[in-house]
C-alpha cells in the first residue's frame, strides 16, 4: 500500500480510535503504525460489506469540491469488517441538488497517487467497483427514502410476470437497474460532515451495461416540459441525457424519437396493439403503479429512466426517489397521503402531464388493476414496505440524526436542513398505510367508464351589476351525467370573481366568465358599475386599495395593475392577512402576495405561508434577501399577520410584520441593489414565467394598500398595531 497521508490531528485520532474499536485493541498506537495497521486490515471487501447494523466512517483529506470538476483527495474507509485507504478523484454530483449547502459527490478510487490504477472494492452484491456516489440526502433527514424505495423497486421487478424474459444483464445487475446504498458518516479534513449514503452511481455498472456498445443505453428525463413525451427529443441533457455514452449514438436518437412519435401520434387502437414493440410493457405498468403508491411527485418528467439492451425496446426504471412517501420536492414540507396525481410536478404550472402514463391509464385500466392487486399483497405490501424502512433506519440513534443539523457539523453550514421535526419513521409508516388506501381508490376509479361532455350552456349570456353583490350562473352540460368536471374562470378578477358559478362584483368595468367542461365552453359577458371609488382622495399616492375583505378559497386570485419594481422608485405595500387553517399546504407553501420573476435568482417580492409560519422576502439575488424565517412563531398560534414592504428612495428595502394583533413587531431591513421586475402584484397565488398560476392561498385578506411612495415609520407603525 502507498504511504497514507493524514494532515489533520482530528483525523489521526478518529482513525486510530476506529481501528482500535475494530480490532479490540486497548493500547494507544503510535501514529506511525496507523498506515501499516490499515494495510493489515485492508481487503477488497465482500458481499457482506458493510454489516447491516454498521455505519462505516469515511475520512477525506484534501480539497473539498464545490463544482462538477474533479479535485484530488485521499480517503480512508473504516467499518466493523473492512478498512482501506485510497487516492480519489472527487466532484459534486446532481443538478437541482447543487444549490443545497450539503453537496452530493461522485468518488473514483485509485491505488496510486498518480491516479492511474483503479482501486476496486466490493460492497454488498455490487461486485468489485471503483466509482461510487456519496448522497447528501439534503431534503430527507431520514436518509432512507432514496435507498429503501429503490430496494422496493428491485422487489417489484423481481415479481414481474415476464421477469425471466428480461435481459440477463439486467437481472444480474446489483438491484434490477436501480440504485442501492448504505449509511455512512463522513469527515472532511477533520470536520464532521454528517451522514451520507454510499450509493451505486448512475453509471454503466449500475445497469450491467457496456458503454462501448451503441445498443446499450440509459436515457434519463431532465425536465417537465419536453421530457413528458410531448415533443421530439434532442438528448442533449436539456430534455433527456444519455447516462452511458459521452455522445449519444445517432441510432439511439433515431429510435427514441420513433418511440416518442408513437406515444404522441398513435391512435388508441395502435397504442394498445403496438406498445410492446417500443417498451417492455410490464415495466410501464409497474412504473406508474409504483409512482402512485409512493407518491413519486418528482418522477414523471425529471428522473425517469429508460434502459435498452438491444437499442430497440425500452425498459422503465425508477431513479432519485427522495421525493416519495410524503416528501415535497424541496424538502420544506410534507404533503398529505391523498396528494393528487394532478398535483405532481408534470401537471403544475400549466403543464399537461406525462403523455405516456396518461395513455397507459386511458387504455390499460384492467392491466393496472390486476397488477396493483399483485403488488399490494407482495413487494408493496405494508409489511414489506415498513420492514424495509425499519431495517434501514433502526440502526441510527436519535442523537446521530440531530448531529446532521447541529451547529458543530460542517462548521454550522447544515443547520438549515429542512423537515427535521416531522420527517421520521412514524410519518413514513402512517403515510404508507394511508397512501395504499388512496391508491386503491385511484385504481378503482380508472375502471369507471368515462362519459365525455358533448355540449355546455349557461342560463344567461350577460350579467349586469350596479354595485357590489353576487349573482349565480348555472352551467348545464350534455349529457348531465358526464364524468368531465366544469371549471370556471374570470378574465379579470379585479372586476368580478367566480366560484362554482357564483359571480361576485369587486370593481367597475367589464369581464367575461368562461365555463369549461371537457372540450366545450360557454361564456357570459359581465358589466359592473356603481361601485364606490375606494381610493383615498386625500392621498393621491395610494394606487390600490382592496375594495373589501376578500376570502381566497384556493381557486381565486386578484391581479393588481401595478408593478412596483418596474422602475427604480419608492413604494409601500401593506397587507393584512388571516390564516383560516384550511390550507392543505399544497407544494412547499401557498402564496399570499407575489411580485417575482420565477427564474433563478428569483428577484422580486413574495409573501408566502408554510407549515412553519409566514415567510416574506425581498430578493434581488440568490444570496441577498430579507428572509424573515428567524422571527417565526409556532404555526398553531399564527392566525393573523400584517406585513409591510417599503422601498425608500435610497433603495433600502424594509419588511415589517406584526403577528396575532399582539403588537409583536419584527423588522428586517436591508440595502438591496435595484433589479427591474416587470411583473405586477398578484394576490392569492403566484405567477409563473408563462403567466400561469399555482400555490393558491386559502384565507382572508382583510386589507391591501399599495402606495407609490415610501410611508414613514410612524405610518407603518400605525398600520401594524391598529
pLDDT value of position 635: 35
Q: Do 442 and 546 have their domain in common?
A: no
* Per-residue CA distances from 702 to 1, 99, 362 (Å): 72, 37, 45
pLDDT value of position 637: 41
- Between CA 407 and CA 242, with CA 139 as vertex, the angle to 5 degrees is 130
CATH number, residue 523: 2.60.40.1080
- Structural domain harbouring 595: 542-721
- With respect to residue 171, please indicate whether it lies within any of the assigned structural domains: no
Q: For residue 199, what is its C-alpha cell?
A: 450509493
More confident residue, 580 or 277: 277
Q: Do 547 and 496 have their domain in common?
A: no
Q: Do 232 and 348 have their domain in common?
A: yes
Q: How confident is the model at residue 663 (pLDDT cuts 50, 70, 90)?
A: low
pLDDT value of position 140: 95
pLDDT value of position 697: 86
* Per-residue CA distances from 418 to 50, 345, 422, 549 (Å): 29, 20, 10, 34
- The mean predicted confidence, pLDDT, of the chain is 86
Eight-class DSSP state of 118: B
Q: For residue 455, what is its C-alpha cell?
A: 355540449
Q: Do 556 and 440 have their domain in common?
A: no
Residue 720, phi-psi category: left (phi > 0), alpha (psi -120 to 50), beta (remainder):
alpha
Identity of the highest mean pLDDT range in 415-429, 588-602, 667-681: 415-429
Please write the tens of the pLDDT for every residue from 60-83. Answer: 999 999 999 999 999 999 999 999
Please write the tens of the pLDDT for every residue from 541-558. Answer: 888 888 888 888 888 889
More confident residue, 422 or 42: 422
Q: How confident is the model at residue 281 (pLDDT cuts 50, 70, 90)?
A: very high
Q: How confident is the model at residue 16 (pLDDT cuts 50, 70, 90)?
A: low
Q: Do 522 and 442 have their domain in common?
A: no
- With respect to residue 290, please indicate whether it lies within any of the assigned structural domains: yes
Q: What is the mean pLDDT of residues 404-426?
A: 90
> pTM (2 decimals)?
0.66
pLDDT value of position 572: 94
- The last residue of a domain, from among 446, 470, 500: 446
Q: Do 373 and 244 have their domain in common?
A: yes
- With respect to residue 150, please indicate whether it lies within any of the assigned structural domains: no
pLDDT value of position 538: 66
Task: Say if residue 625's pLDDT is above 50.
Answer: no
- With respect to residue 36, please indicate whether it lies within any of the assigned structural domains: yes
Q: Which residue reads 398529505 in cell numbers?
A: 336
Spatial separation of the C-alpha atoms in residues 397 and 140, rounded to whole Å: 16
Q: How confident is the model at residue 141 (pLDDT cuts 50, 70, 90)?
A: very high
Q: Do 600 and 707 have their domain in common?
A: yes
For residue 593, is the peptide bond before it cis, meaning its omega torsion is within 30 degrees of 0? no
Q: How many Cβ atoms are within 10 Å of 285's Cβ, its own excluded? A: 22
Q: Do 577 and 714 have their domain in common?
A: yes
- With respect to residue 187, please indicate whether it lies within any of the assigned structural domains: no
Q: How buried is 598 (Cβ within 10 angstroms: 0-12 exposed, 13-18 middle, 19+ buried)?
A: middle
Please write the tens of the pLDDT for every residue from 303-325. Answer: 999 999 999 999 999 999 999 99
Q: For residue 699, what is its C-alpha cell?
A: 384565507
pLDDT value of position 555: 80
- Between CA 630 and CA 635, with CA 634 as vertex, the angle to 5 degrees is 115
Spatial separation of the C-alpha atoms in residues 202 and 384, rounded to whole Å: 26
- With respect to residue 160, please indicate whether it lies within any of the assigned structural domains: no
Task: Say if residue 210's pLDDT is above 90.
Answer: yes
For residue 83, is the peptide bond before it cis, meaning its omega torsion is within 30 degrees of 0? no
- The last residue of a domain, from among 504, 528, 552: 528
Q: Into how many domains does the chain fold?
A: 4
Task: Say if residue 295's pLDDT is above 90.
Answer: yes
- The last residue of a domain, from among 423, 446, 469: 446
Amino acid at each position: 500500500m502507498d504511504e497514507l497521508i493524514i494532515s489533520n490531528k482530528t483525523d489521526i485520532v478518529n482513525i486510530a480510535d476506529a481501528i482500535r474499536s475494530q480490532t479490540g485493541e486497548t493500547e494507544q498506537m503510535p501514529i506511525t503504525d496507523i498506515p501499516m495497521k490499515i494495510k493489515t486490515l485492508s481487503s477488497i471487501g465482500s458481499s457482506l460489506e458493510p454489516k447491516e447494523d454498521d455505519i462505516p466512517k469515511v475520512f477525506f483529506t484534501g480539497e473539498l469540491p464545490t463544482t462538477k470538476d474533479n479535485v484530488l483527495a485521499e480517503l480512508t474507509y473504516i467499518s466493523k469488517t473492512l478498512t482501506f485507504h485510497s487516492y480519489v478523484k472527487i466532484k459534486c454530483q446532481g443538478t437541482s441538488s447543487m444549490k443545497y449547502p450539503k453537496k452530493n459527490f461522485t468518488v473514483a478510487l485509485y491505488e496510486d497517487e498518480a491516479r492511474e490504477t483503479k482501486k476496486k472494492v466490493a460492497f454488498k452484491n455490487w461486485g468489485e467497483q471503483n466509482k461510487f456516489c456519496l448522497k447528501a440526502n439534503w431534503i430527507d433527514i431520514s436518509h432512507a427514502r432514496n435507498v429503501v424505495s429503490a430496494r422496493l423497486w428491485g422487489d417489484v421487478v423481481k415479481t414481474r410476470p415476464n421477469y425471466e424474459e428480461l435481459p440477463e444483464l439486467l437481472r444480474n445487475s446489483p438491484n434490477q437497474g436501480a440504485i442501492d446504498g448504505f449509511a455512512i458518516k463522513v469527515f472532511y479534513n477533520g470536520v464532521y460532515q454528517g451522514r451520507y449514503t454510499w450509493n451505486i452511481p448512475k453509471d454503466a455498472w449500475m445497469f450491467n451495461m457496456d458503454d462501448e456498445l451503441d445498443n446499450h443505453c440509459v436515457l434519463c428525463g431532465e425536465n417537465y416540459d419536453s421530457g413528458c413525451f410531448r415533443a421530439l427529443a434532442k438528448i442533449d441533457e436539456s430534455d433527456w441525457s444519455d447516462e452511458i455514452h459521452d455522445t449519444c449514438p445517432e441510432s439511439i436518437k433515431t429510435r427514441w424519437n420513433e418511440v416518442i412519435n408513437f406515444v404522441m401520434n398513435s391512435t388508441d387502437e395502435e397504442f394498445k396493439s403496438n406498445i410492446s414493440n417500443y417498451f417492455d410493457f410490464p415495466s410501464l405498468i409497474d412504473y406508474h403503479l409504483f409512482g402512485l403508491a409512493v407518491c413519486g411527485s418528482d418522477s414523471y418528467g425529471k428522473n425517469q429512466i429508460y434502459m435498452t439492451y438491444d437499442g430497440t425496446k425500452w425498459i422503465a426504471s425508477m431513479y432519485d426517489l427522495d421525493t416519495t412517501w410524503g416528501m415535497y420536492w424541496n424538502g420544506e414540507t410534507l404533503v398529505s397521503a391523498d396528494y393528487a396525481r394532478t398535483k405532481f410536478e408534470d401537471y403544475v404550472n400549466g403543464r399537461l402531464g406525462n403523455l405516456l402514463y396518461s395513455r397507459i391509464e386511458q387504455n390499460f385500466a384492467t392491466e393496472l388493476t390486476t397488477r396493483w392487486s399483485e403488488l399490494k399483497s407482495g413487494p408493496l405490501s405494508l409489511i414489506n414496505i415498513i420492514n424495509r424502512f425499519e431495517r434501514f433506519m433502526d440502526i441510527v440513534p436519535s442523537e446521530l440524526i440531530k448531529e446532521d443539523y447541529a451547529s458543530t457539523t460542517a462548521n454550522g453550514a447544515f443547520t438549515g436542513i429542512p423537515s427535521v421535526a416531522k420527517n421520521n419513521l412514524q410519518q413514513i409508516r402512517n403515510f404508507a398505510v394511508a397512501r395504499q388506501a388512496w391508491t386503491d381508490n385511484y385504481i378503482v376509479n380508472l375502471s369507471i367508464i368515462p362519459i365525455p361532455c358533448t355540449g355546455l350552456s349557461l342560463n344567461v349570456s350577460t350579467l349586469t351589476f350596479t354595485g357590489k353583490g353576487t349573482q349565480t350562473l348555472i352551467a348545464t352540460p350534455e349529457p348531465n351525467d358526464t364524468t368531465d368536471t366544469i371549471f370556471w374562470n374570470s378574465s379579470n378578477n379585479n372586476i368580478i370573481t367566480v366560484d362554482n358559478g357564483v359571480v361576485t362584483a369587486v370593481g367597475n368595468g367589464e369581464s367575461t366568465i368562461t365555463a369549461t367542461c371537457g372540450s366545450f365552453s360557454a361564456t357570459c359577458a359581465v358589466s359592473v358599475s356603481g361601485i364606490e371609488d375606494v381610493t383615498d382622495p386625500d392621498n393621491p399616492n395610494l394606487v390600490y386599495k382592496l375594495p373589501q375583505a376578500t376570502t381566497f378559497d384556493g381557486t381565486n386570485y386578484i391581479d393588481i395593475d401595478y408593478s412596483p419594481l418596474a422602475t427604480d422608485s419608492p413604494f409601500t405595500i401593506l397587507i393584512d392577512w388571516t390564516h383560516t387553517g384550511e390550507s392543505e399546504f399544497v407544494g412547499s407553501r401557498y402564496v399570499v402576495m407575489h411580485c417575482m420573476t420565477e427564474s433563478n435568482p428569483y428577484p422580486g417580492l413574495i409573501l408566502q405561508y408554510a407549515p412553519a409560519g409566514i415567510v416574506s422576502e425581498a430578493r434581488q439575488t440568490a444570496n441577498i434577501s430579507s428572509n424573515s424565517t428567524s422571527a417565526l412563531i409556532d404555526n398553531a398560534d399564527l392566525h393573523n399577520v400584517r406585513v409591510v414592504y417599503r422601498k425608500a428612495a435610497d433603495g433600502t428595502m424594509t419588511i415589517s410584520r406584526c403577528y396575532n394583533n399582539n403588537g409583536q413587531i419584527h423588522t428586517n431591513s436591508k440595502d438591496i441593489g435595484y433589479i427591474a421586475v416587470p411583473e405586477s402584484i398578484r394576490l392569492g397565488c403566484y405567477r409563473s414565467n408563462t403567466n400561469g398560476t399555482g400555490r393558491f392561498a386559502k384565507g382572508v385578506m382583510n386589507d391591501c394598500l399599495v402606495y407609490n411612495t415610501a410611508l414613514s415609520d410612524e405610518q407603518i407603525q400605525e398600520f401594524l398595531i391598529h
